[in-house]
């Protein structure tokens, strides 16, 4: 039972780090392709599984990291899109 709690804490920390890393990289460095960031996140899942000895959860860790990474990338891209749209609207309002 304690191993499930410990495993949950590890995955919570790993997910938080992946969300933060992917979101920041995608927002501040938009030239980096999203598949590169998702691939690095998947690689972190592999390293996590081997480091903590959860070899049976390797596939879950990779999928978990890639999905969280893609969610963070999507939110960052959407934020940049909204920022661009707001700037265009403000520029259009100044012309009127």
Q: What's the rounded Cα separation, in Å, for the pair 70 and 33?
A: 12
Please tell me the predicted confidence (pLDDT) of residue 78: 95
Query: Where would I find the H helices in the chain?
Result: 2-28, 34-52, 58-95
Q: What's the rounded Cα separation, in Å, for the pair 12 and 51?
A: 16
Band of residue 51 on the pLDDT scale cut at 50, 70, 90 = confident
Residue 19 has pLDDT above 90, yes or no: yes
66-83, pLDDT tens digit by residue? Answer: 999 999 999 999 999 999
CA dihedral 58, 60, 61, 64 (to 10 degrees): 160
Residue 96 has pLDDT above 80, yes or no: no
Q: Residue 52: which of 13, 83, 24 has the closest Cα?
A: 13
Q: Residue 26: which of 87, 88, 68, 85 has the closest Cα?
A: 68
CA angle at residue 82 from 78 to 83, to 5 degrees? Answer: 115
């Amino acid at each position: 039972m304690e191993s499930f709690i410990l495993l949950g804490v590890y995955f919570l920390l790993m997910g938080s780090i992946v969300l933060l890393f992917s979101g920041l990289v995608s927002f501040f460095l938009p030239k980096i392709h999203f598949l590169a960031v998702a691939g690095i996140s998947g690689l972190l899942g592999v390293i996590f599984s081997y480091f903590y000895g959860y070899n049976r959860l390797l596939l879950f860790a990779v999928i978990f990291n890639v999905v969280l990474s893609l969610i963070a990338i999507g939110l960052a891209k959407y934020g940049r899109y909204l920022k661009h749209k707001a700037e265009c609207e403000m520029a259009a309002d100044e012309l009127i």
